[in-house]
Structure 1
Amino acid sequence: MIKTVEIVSLSSGIIGEAVAAHELKIGIERLKSMGLQVKFSKHALKGIDYIKGHPEDRAADLIEAYADSEVDMILCAIGGDDTYRLLPYLFEDDRLKNVVNEKPFLGFSDTTMNHFMLHKLGIKTFYGQSFLADICELENEMLPYTGKFFKELITTEMIKEVRPSDVWYEERTEFDESQIGVPRVKHQNTGFELLQGTSVFSGKILGGCIESIYDIFNNDRYSDSIELCKKYELFPTLDDWRGRILLLESSEEKPSPEMYEKMLLALKKYGVFDVVSGVLVGKPMDETYAEEYKNLLVKTIASPELPVLFNINIGHATPRCIIPFGTYATVDADKQLIIFE
């Protein structure tokens, strides 16, 4: 049972800005109502500019959260786009390695990079939700499907299974105080969709946001992302990928089909699709380009026998489940079920 949660800003520092104050208040109250003690890391609330300018302090916060025996779980504030910059401050002198342990770590989006960092050190993590995006939801309660998984994690420190949500929600365009209590627009969800391959496959899941992963292979966003990720061997080797299930989801940037294909091709070139046992793909936000992405997955992977399961409620579309990384999973498309051992 989780008692104390520490919130860290490893990517964007937006939770420290006045514009997010009403969401911060909602989130803190919500966690407390679940019986949790809430702690913020030393620099978590310092704001966008400070966090952007001080990757060393972001890294120090993560190290401190792992080292603090009173902290039972680490919850990422939100994603962003440059948490790869923490690499030297975490890996030089084994700073992170010396303190890591198996307390639950939860985040998604740019946090994909932090999941890879922790994977490198043999630590299991949880992918799929963040403080600002999920706990601070402006509706009167957390979205039911999202909340179910978060409560399961803080109660049992594990996730037993994932089934599809009955509904999906359009993303909000406004997040100001006027939106408090305003329900999201919702639609019927259609469940998991097997694009190709056998309906049952298994392995330990790893992956995350495709744009973040692409930054490991491409310098368009930041001129040093390839160099840093290569230096610290962030992306797993093909031997490490062998037999795993690759998770991919796309961000609120809603990448164009052309961009999506480019990102898939980078993974194909690396050889990931030759060694994994299957691919899980998150529902795109607002279902934008869903059909195009499906076609591109089949076309680009070009291995009809490799199972590809689309429309998982994970990533940037709401609601969101939580997927354990590093835990053996069995996926059954016919039963619409992912079970974790």
Structure 2
Amino acid sequence: MPPAAGERGELLRPRKARPGDRIAVLSPSFAAPGPFPQVHEQAMRRLADLTGLVPVEYPTTRTVGASARARADDVNAAFADPHVRAILATIGGDDQITVVPHLDADLARADPKPFLGTSDNTNLHHWLWNLGIASFYGGSSQVHLGPGPAVDDVHARSLRAALLTGGTLEVTDPGESEDTGVDWADPRALQSFGDREPTEPWTWHGPAHSVTGPTWGGCLEVIEWILTAGRFPPDPAVLDGGVLLIETSEELLPAVNVGRIVRSLGERGILAAVDAVLVGRPPVSDLTRKPAADERTRLRAEQRDTVVDVIARYNPRAVVCVGVPFGHTRPQWILPHGGPVTVDGAARRVLADYQ
């Protein structure tokens, strides 16, 4: 049985699936496949083609407004089914924190499986982490598999590594990024990417040395909810030597608000505990708000400078890399959550272990 948070060394990393195995496709937050079935069904075809796995839906996968208990029942059923060898969330949302109390820890401990999800699924990642089980941050099928003419290469490679092959990959800049795709109600969403623009180089801060450690974190807004709900261990030393992952959502928080949440992580002792921080490329526009190109650049730089300044105040020895696409922008890298990542401030490289 995996050790609980605060009692463990290395987290248990569930064994990989094999082609032909079943993968549970769940909506523990918002059931986007319900109102946008064409995007979902294209995502399921691409998931099967890319991995050889067999997607299996559950009662609430397409059910908008399903209760927290019903969504938790689906998560529990996926862990309980010995034929299901991995679990993928369709998308995030904003109320998964209410699902967590209904989850069955004994089922997850008895048969740990790779879990992939982003955004509101930070709740599920943290729940598994508290049980001593590693997972993978990223992989919303409704965002990264279904829309557009194809699956992005960096997403496909990290998806296969997380689910099937393991190994170590260098996390690289794909060179382009979109904050949001085509509206899923528009048939063009099935064939077209959103408005993509060239990326800025990642920026490096702190000492020029290399750190390798287990990751913890996710969507910054959801981390704030987890801390408020008292679901983080009392002693932040459980993160000693680790790598903090933080990224922001399509809520488009102003930099000052982002800085205040990061400051709270500092006051909680989390920033001082870790040896490195990866900060995701932030979205700065959505379907209804799209600032001009120079304003988008300014907004990203303002958030970067704010976050780097706060981290430096609480932990000047931390190696910090800003701009890594593992959050709410696309293309997206899926990264280990609880597994090792190397942040090399000297060579300016990021390496992820998908074992």
TM-score after normalising by structure 1: 0.86
Give how far 1:154 is off: 3.4
Counterparts in 2 of 1:85 and 1:158: CA distance versus 1, 3 Å: farther
Q: Does 1:311 align with 2:323?
A: yes
Secondary structure of 1:15's match? coil
Secondary structure of 2:62's match? coil
The equivalent of 1:223 in structure 2 is: none
Given residue 23 of structure 1, which amino acid in structure 2 is its aligned partner?
A: V
Give how far 1:159 is off: 5.1
Give how far 1:199 is off: 4.1
The equivalent of 2:98 in structure 1 is: 85
Measure, in 1, the Cα distance between the counterparts of 2:168 and 2:41.
27
Given residue 30 of structure 1, which amino acid in structure 2 is its aligned partner?
A: R
The equivalent of 2:53 in structure 1 is: 36
Q: 1:239 aligns with which of 237, 240, 256?
A: 237
The count of residues paired between Structure 1 and Structure 2 equals 319
Secondary structure of 1:44's match? coil
Measure, in 1, the Cα distance between the counterparts of 2:239 and 2:351.
20
Q: Deviations over 1:153-205 (max 9, x none)?
A: 33314553322222223422522213331233333334431033334222111
Q: 2:335 aligns with which of 310, 314, 323?
A: 323
Give how far 1:100 is off: 4.2
Give how far 1:278 is off: 1.1
Q: Does 1:65 align with 2:74?
A: no
The equivalent of 1:194 in structure 2 is: 204
Measure, in 2, the Cα distance between the counterparts of 1:257 and 1:132.
27
Aligned partners of 1:198 and 1:305 also within 8 Å: no
The equivalent of 1:23 in structure 2 is: 39
Aligned-residue RMSD, C-alpha? 2.1
Give how far 1:99 is off: 3.8
Q: Which sections of structure 2, spanning at least 5 residues, go unmatched? A: 1-17, 285-295
Q: Deviations over 1:125-164 (max 9, x none)?
A: 0012211111112x22112222222233333145533222
The equivalent of 1:290 in structure 2 is: 300
Alignment of 1:1-341 (within 5 A): 1-2=18-19, 3-17=21-35, 20-34=36-50, 35-46=52-63, 48-49=64-65, 51=66, 54-90=67-103, 94-97=105-108, 99-101=110-112, 103-137=113-147, 139-157=148-166, 160-172=169-181, 174-175=183-184, 176-217=186-227, 226=228, 229-230=229-230, 233-234=231-232, 237-286=235-284, 289-301=299-311, 302=313, 303-341=315-353
Secondary structure of 1:308's match? strand
Percent of aligned positions that are identical: 26
Given residue 306 of structure 1, which amino acid in structure 2 is its aligned partner?
A: A
Aligned partners of 2:204 and 2:348 also within 8 Å: no
Secondary structure of 2:38's match? helix
Measure, in 1, the Cα distance between the counterparts of 2:151 and 2:220.
26
Measure, in 2, the Cα distance between the counterparts of 1:88 and 1:207.
20
Secondary structure of 1:72's match? strand
Greater Cα offset, 152-161 or 193-202: 152-161
Measure, in 1, the Cα distance between the counterparts of 2:300 and 2:338.
28
Aligned partners of 2:91 and 2:142 also within 8 Å: yes
Counterparts in 2 of 1:190 and 1:258: CA distance versus 1, 3 Å: closer
Give how far 1:249 is off: 0.2
Given residue 246 of structure 2, which amino acid in structure 1 is its aligned partner?
A: L
Secondary structure of 1:204's match? strand
Given residue 44 of structure 2, which amino acid in structure 1 is its aligned partner?
A: I
Given residue 73 of structure 2, which amino acid in structure 1 is its aligned partner?
A: A
Q: Deviations over 1:68-127 (max 9, x none)?
A: 111111000110011111222125xx45455441x2110010101110000011111001
